Structure formats: structure tokens, C-alpha cells
Amino acid sequence: MDLSGLHSIAERERHSRKPNTIRCCAAMGCEAARSRQVRVALRSAVAAAGRQDSIEVQGVGCLGLCSAGPLVRVEPQGVMYQRVTPEDVQSIVAAVDGGTSTAERADLSHPFFTLQYPIVLENSGKVDPERIESYVAEGGYETLYHVLREMSPAEVVDEVSRSGLRGRGGAGFPTGLKWATVAKTQADWKCVVCNADEGDPGAFMDRAVMESDPHRILEGMAIAAYAVGANQGYIYVRGEYPLAYDRLQVAIQQADRLGLLGSRIFDSPFDFRIDLRIGAGAFVCGEETALMASIQGQRGTPRPRPPYPAEAGLWGKPTLINNVETFANIPPILKRGGGWYAAIGTDKSKGTKVFSLTGHVRHTGLIEVPMGTTLRTIVEDMGDGVPNGRALKAVQTGGSSGGCVPASEIDVSVDYESLAALGSIMGSGGMVVLDDSTDMVDLARFFMEFCADESCGKCVPCRVGTAQIYRLLERFVAREATESDLVLLEELCDLLRSASLCGLGQNAPNPVLSTLRYFREEYEAGMASIGASRGLIREPAVVGRPA
């Protein structure tokens, strides 16, 4: 394969397109809402109308507004329909030439769509994730070609460093610095790993990218491998993501067939292959040392660092680990330049961030916004606010390791530093909106139960501490706690943060500490004596958990 071959594929794909395209979401969210039946019905309706020559029905990745699926978009008309049923399809086909469909039309002028800044998601809802030709027609793999033929590995690392990209898996470590560390470590074998073990409650950003644009991830990994001197890659996919796994597998086979993975890619000396590994459902395997142990066929438990994976990772060899969103950022950065990317976002948090917006908010789904966008813009404008006449109480960010930002801080800039200052974290991008019916102590108990269940048990502080904190929180929820329980709760949180072996245990107290910081009166209401004396005893619990 050379550049002319790639262009020939793109030209054939473009010329084969029909004047009208009906794109039907084929990501997991819409599939669960019967989008497959809608897609089949659309093809039948097109055939029944004798429009096969002028209308193409295409399965595409996530179209964003997951709460209103199944979603169908008609191009070039630029019309989107929501909550589509098989009964709607005939009117959708009939309306392609300008008529009016009886299907419910989505408002594309809503801020949910207009405030998005798609970089990672630029192909989502546009390309067919099961056809490499569709990706190539959008310029796919051209960046890899130019990197291999025109740039040295050091220049690639410099460009990524210049972009200011930080790892999107949660820690926010500078990606260029990590790449430079792996690149300069001398070894006879190196490896690149894509962490696709997304496990935070309410998070589905990486799943959507894998289901919608799998070739983008492969291209980003290949560029990374060239930059650091690796010839082998692994994608560690969460076992609960079968559709993402299937699409990645198909994508790898297609790229192998065209010579875009494997030996002498684009007739260069660079060889790179990618294998898939399926996680067995352990949340702790999102931690990179536990993930590597799992890939090696061992029990997925973390180990102390240093040495870091960049120096001694898989089988003791230098290993570069980034998550799905990080790799998906790489092709556009190398295509448009690190300076272009660095101009987006804030001073220390560059670029955009993908969030899964869920909970007590009218519009839930997948959004991508520049770093520095305010929480108010995301919740009130893009999410269209809290429904059912309720008031906003807090926004939980960062999943089980994150914290709750109270409504009083809704004008906070969403970036690494600002969220940390409020006691929360960016995390991988889960964002759960909570209305004023939410019991914050019970919410903290929910996350602590999750962490206790997912603790691998290797270190005592995490194994015992999460269970003890969970039991204490049960006492607060049952209104049986005492003042000494509150003191013990805070001491245990401090111990867990300082003595746990890995991030799971170190960050497990975050939901408790942030709710204690902003909603301490709800804990006091759970202390029988104080709650009664201050009139804080609650009515029998009406617990609002995030959807």
C-alpha cells in the first residue's frame, strides 16, 4: 500500500455513494433501543419505494443524543430524527426529497449539538465503523503515511509534546513526556497498550469511540508505536463491551489485509501488529500495572511503582500505555500540528474532552467540548437542565474515584486543575447530574460499595478500609451513627488515601470526602442525637440515585 493506493480507495468509496444517505446509529445505546430493527426496516422501505439507486441506508457510530435513540440522520438534508420506530421509516424515506416525516425531529440548533467541538468524535456518526473504506474516504491512515515517510520518531514525540495533550484516562499525565520516556529507554522489544477497560459507573466515552471509529484508535496506536520504537500493540477491552470488541477485531483484520498494519507498513521499515485482549470484568484492571498482569495471563492485581511501565512494563520491557481517547486524539494532532491543538482549552489543560453526560438532566449522551467549558454550560445549556421541576444539587465527575461539585460551584471551569481544587477529578469523563432529591450520603455509600466490591484485596488498607467505610456509611443512612462514627469515617478516609497501593484505594474516599465537604449536614442528619436536636432527622428515605 502506498499513498496513491490509499487515495484510490477513498475515490472509489466517494464515487460509490448515492445522492442521499440515511445514517442510522449502530452504537450500543441505540442498538438496545431497537435501532437494528429500524435499520432493517429502512432498507426494506427504500427497496419498496424503488429508491435503491438514490438512497443508501448506512449503519454509523454514536450520533450523540443517547437519551433520544434510536437516532436517524438524513444527509445531505441535515435532518435528524429521534426515538425512531420501524413504523416511522416509510415516512422518513418519503421525506428524503423534501417532504415532511411523521417521525419526531431532533432540534439540531440546540446547544447540545451546536456547542460540541468534535475532534475525537469528528467521524462518529459519519463513518461506517465496519468498513475501512469509509474511514479512508475521510482521510483515514493518511496521517500515518506522512508520519512514516516524512517525520522522524523524535519529531513525532516533539509534536505530541507541543500539543500539551494529557492522558485522558484520568490521571492527566503529559502524553508527550510519557512517550519520550519510552522512546529513550533502550530495549530489544517495546510495546504499546491501549487501555480500553473503561469501568467507571456512568462512563461510556471509550466504548462509543471504539464502536464508532475503531480505525482512528488503530492509526493512533501505530503512530505511537513508530514514535517510541515498538512493534507490538495490545488493546485491552472490557469484557462487557462485546460490540466494541467485534468492531475492533474487524478493523484489525481489514487494516492487516490492506497492509496498514503488519510488516513494512507503507513500504517503510516499520512493522506493527495489534492483538486484542478481553478483560474479565475487574475494575482494578483499569490500573495499568494490574492491566499488564492480566495481559500476561496472571491475576489482575497492581504492583508498587517504580519501576513504571515506561521503563519496565509487559514482561519487563518498556511499555507505553494510553487510553482510547488519548490515542484517538493523535491522528488529528499530527495532521494539524501540536500548536493547533494547544490553542484549544486552558493554559494547562489543552484540547477537548469527551464526557458521557448522564443522570438527572434532560439531554443525556456523548459530548465533546473544549477544556475550560463551564459546568453550567454543560448542564444547563447542553444538557438542557434538570427535569421535573427539580433543582440542581451537584454534579458527580470522575466516576467512583471522583467527587461531587455542588450547585454553588456550577460556574467552575471544567479542567484538571479547577476540578481538583474543588475536591473532584476529571477522571475518564463520566459526568452524573444530581437533582435535589438525591441523598448524598447514600450516593457516597453507593460508590464505596462499588469500590469494596472491586477491591482486588492485595493491600490491607483498601481491602479492609473500603469495607469498614461502607459499614459506617450504612449507619449514617440508617440514622444510627454517632459523633465518633464521623470522626472514624474521616480518619479511615485519610488512611485509605495515604496507605493504599494503587489508585483504586487511594481515590476511593473521594466521593465521601467531597460530600462531607459540601453536604456535611446530611451526615449530621444521620447521627441520631445531633440530627434530632437540630431537627435534621430526615423523613424515611426517598433516595435519588443517578440514572
Tens-digit pLDDT profile for residues 525-541:
998 766 555 555 444 44
The reported pLDDT for the residue numbered 145 is 98
Q: Which amino acid is at 110?
A: H
What's the residue count for the chain?
A: 547
Report the half-sphere exposure of 483 (CA within 13 A, side-chain side): 2
- Which DSSP state fits 155? H
Q: Is 328 exposed, middle or buried (0-12, 13-18, 19+ CB in 10 A)?
A: buried
Q: What average pLDDT score do residues 129-140 get? A: 97
Say whether 317 sits in a helix, a strand or coil. coil
Cα–Cα distance, 249 to 247 (Å, whole number): 5
3-state secondary structure of 393: strand
**How far is the C-alpha of 178 from the C-alpha of 323, rounded, in Å?**
13
Q: What's the CA gap between 4 and 7, in Å, rounded?
A: 5
Distance CA 53, CA 49 (A): 11
DSSP-derived secondary structure letter, 276 = E
Question: Does the pLDDT of residue 547 top 50, yes or no?
Answer: no
Contacts of 408 (CB under 8 A, 6+ apart): 518
The pLDDT confidence band at residue 546, using thresholds 50, 70 and 90, is: very low
Q: What is the mean pLDDT of residues 456-473?
A: 96
Side-by-side strand order, sheet with 392-397: 365-370, 352-359, 430-435, 392-397, 403-406
Q: DSSP letter at 379?
A: I
Taking each continuous run of H as one helix and of E as one strand, the counts in the chain are 24, 13
Q: What is the pLDDT of residue 532?
A: 55
pLDDT at 386 (0 to 100)? 98
C-alpha cell at 12: 472509489
Contact in structure between 6 and 135 (CB atoms under 8 Å): no
Rounded-to-integer distance, Cα 361 and Cα 134, Å = 34
Helix (H) or strand (E) segment spanning residue 74: strand 72-75
Q: Which residues pair with 367 in a beta bridge?
A: 355
Helix, strand, coil percent content, the chain, rounded in steps of 5? 45, 15, 40
State the pLDDT confidence band at 428, using cuts at 50, 70 and 90. confident
User: Could you count the other beta carbons within 10 Å of the beta carbon of residue 227?
Assistant: 28
Reply yes or no on whether the pLDDT at 119 is more than 50: yes
3-state SS, 504-534, equals HHHHCCHHHHHHHHHCHHHHHHCEHHHHHHC
Beta bridge partners of 259: none
Please give the C-alpha separations between residue 334 and each of 6, 158, 163, 164, 458, in angstroms, as whole numbers. 18, 10, 9, 13, 41
Residue 105: pLDDT above 80?
Answer: yes
Contact 229, 321 (CB under 8 A): no
pLDDT exceeds 50 at position 542: no
- Retrieve residue 546's grid coordinates: 443517578
Nearest CA-CA partner of 394 in 445, 360, 442:
360
Average pLDDT of the residues in 416-443 = 94
Q: What are phi and psi of 321, to 5 degrees?
A: -120, 120
pLDDT at residue number 238: 93
Asked if 74 and 100 count as a contact pair (C-beta separation under 8 A), the reply is no
Which DSSP string do the residues of 307-345 spell out, in sequence order? SPTTTS-GGGS-EEEEEHHHHHHHHHHHHH-HHHHHTSB
Query: Please, which pLDDT band fits residue 545 given cuts at 50, 70 and 90?
Result: very low
Rg (CA), the chain: 24
The per-residue pLDDT for 11 is: 97
Lowest mean pLDDT among 280-284, 317-321, 375-379, 525-529: 525-529
Count Cβ atoms below 10 Å from residue 308 Cβ, excluding itself.
Answer: 16
328 is written with which cell numbers?
484517538
Report phi then psi at 523, rounded to 5.
-70, -40
What pLDDT score was predicted for residue 541?
41
Distance from C-alpha of 257 to C-alpha of 262, rounded to nearest angstrom: 9
pLDDT of residue 169: 87
| pTM of this structure | 0.94
Residue 204 vs residue 545, higher pLDDT: 204
182-223 pLDDT, tens digit per residue, is 999 999 999 999 999 998 888 999 999 999 999 999 999 999
Indicate the pLDDT class of residue 1, thresholds 50, 70 and 90.
Answer: confident
d(C-alpha 416, C-alpha 168), whole Å: 10
Dist CA 49 CA 220 (whole Å) = 42
CA gap 473, 370 in Å, rounded = 37
C-alpha 313/C-alpha 446 separation (Å) is 34
Most confident of 93-102, 157-166, 302-311: 157-166
CA distance 275 to 183: 21
Average pLDDT over residues 417-423: 93
pLDDT tens per residue, range 40-77: 999 999 999 999 999 999 999 999 999 999 999 999 99
Distances from the Cα of 371 to the Cα of 342, 382, 454, 465, 482, angstroms:
11, 15, 30, 35, 42
Give the type of residue at 475: R
Residue-wise pLDDT for 295-332, tens only, equals 999 999 999 989 999 999 999 999 999 999 999 999 99
Pair 122, 332: CB distance under 8 Å? yes
Of 116, 131, 41, 125, which Cα lies nearest the Cα of 80? 125
Query: What is d(CA 363, CA 378) in angstroms, rounded to the nearest whole number?
Result: 10
| Mean pLDDT for the stretch of residues 422-450 | 94
364 within 8 A of 208, measured Cβ to Cβ: no
What's the pLDDT at 533? 55
d(CA 174, CA 56): 43
Mean predicted lDDT score pLDDT of the chain: 94
